[in-house]
Chain A
């Protein structure tokens, strides 16, 4: 067994221990801070008039984030069109 294999085994076992302890520390299904969730669930229909809360968060409460996503899409399309453009001789 070479030293490379031993180092790989030790590294991946330490990594696995970290992942297992991180997963055990989390409490699934019982979030500690629920103020923002409760506010959005209770006030979405009255404040914005929509029935889909996800769309409300994406476009209304976190509209700046969606503006950034649209900008990223615009930049990506601009880059692709710039790469594949016709070059006039």
Chain B
């Protein structure tokens, strides 16, 4: 898959940071606003896929391969399971939100409709980041592998 025209490349250069910032915002504010790891990860992965389509898979395969992305996805999965086991270690229950009430991460907001801070929610932001990393790496790896496979010229039958 070769690169597209100069217009598409310039526009994707302009749009890429905004898409990535919006996706990371949805991940980081997953415990305050609608959205979360899955949704924000899909948005950020679509930004990466936009860059991949605009510049072509031959350019992208020099920068990053699916081996790097599988490392990131494994890190996300292990991080998520580690956050789940943290509850087992701290409180004896799997998936227990054990950081609620601790001074740094677990501020409890006032009851009712209130504007809350980022440092609330205990382990939920960490789980959101883990799932977001996993979804970004996973979706981008799928499309990258397909793009590289579609650009193979010599088919040895």
As a 0/1 sequence over residues 44 to 68 of chain B, the CB contacts with chain A under 8 angstroms (1 = contact) are 0000000000000000000000100
Tell me if B2 is interfacial: C-beta within 8 Å of chain A. no
Tell me if B25 is interfacial: C-beta within 8 Å of chain A. no
**Top-10 shortest CB links A-B:** A63-B95, A50-B31, A77-B138, A84-B149, A49-B120, A50-B121, A84-B145, A51-B116, A49-B108, A80-B142
Tell me if A2 is interfacial: C-beta within 8 Å of chain B. no
Tell me if B13 is interfacial: C-beta within 8 Å of chain A. no
Cβ B128 vs Cβ A74 within 8 A: no
State whether A55 and B145 are in contact (beta carbons under 8 Å apart), knowing that A49-B109, A70-B134, A74-B134 are contacts in the complex.
no
Tell me if A27 is interfacial: C-beta within 8 Å of chain B. no
How many residues in B have their beta carbons less than 8 Å from beta carbons of A? 46
Cβ B30 vs Cβ A52 within 8 A: yes
User: In the complex, how many angstroms separate the beta carbon of A24 from the nearest chain B beta carbon?
Assistant: 33
Cβ A56 vs Cβ B70 within 8 A: no
User: In the complex, how many angstroms separate the beta carbon of B16 from the nearest chain A beta carbon?
Assistant: 23
Residue of A nearest to B101 (CB): A49
Chain B residues with Cβ below 8 Å from A73 are: 134-135, 138
Separation of A50 and B107 alpha carbons in the complex (Å): 9
Cβ B77 vs Cβ A74 within 8 A: yes
Which residue of B32, B97, B148 contacts A84 across the interface (Cβ within 8 Å)? B148
Which residue of B80, B111, B121 contacts A67 across the interface (Cβ within 8 Å)? B80
State whether A70 and B109 are in contact (beta carbons under 8 Å apart), knowing that A49-B121, A52-B31, A55-B36 are contacts in the complex.
no
Cβ B114 vs Cβ A51 within 8 A: yes
